[in-house]
Amino acid sequence: MTRSLPNRQPDTPYHDPAGKQAGWSRANEAKRIAAGGRRLPGGVLPADAADALAELQDAGYASSATACIARALVEAARR
C-alpha cells in the first residue's frame, strides 16, 4: 500500500517534481545557520546513547531526535 500525501501524485508517495521540499530544506538550513546554528557531521550513536534518545522521544521530551539532542545539550550546558 502506498501512502499518498496532499498535493502528491497518488502512485508516488513523496513525488516532488519541482524540488520544492529540497529548496525549502536548504532555505531553512541557511536560515538556522545565519541565526548562529551549526551543521553537525553525520555519525552513529553508541547503543546506550541511542537507547537514551529513544526513551527521551517516547517520553515526549522533544518532538524529534534532533530536538531531543538540542534540548539535552542546552540543559547540560546550563548546569
Measuring CA to CA, how many Å separate 17 from each of 21, 68, 74? Answer: 10, 32, 38
Residue 74 sits in the same domain as residue 46: yes
Total structural domains in the chain?
A: 2
Residue 26 sits in the same domain as residue 53: no
pTM of the model: 0.63
CA-to-CA distance for 5 and 16, rounded, in angstroms?
11
Residue 46 sits in the same domain as residue 72: yes
Residue 12 sits in the same domain as residue 22: yes
pLDDT digits (tens, 9 = 90+) for 19-64: 788 888 888 889 999 999 998 888 899 999 999 999 999 999 999 9
pLDDT digits (tens, 9 = 90+) for 60-76: 999 999 999 999 999 99
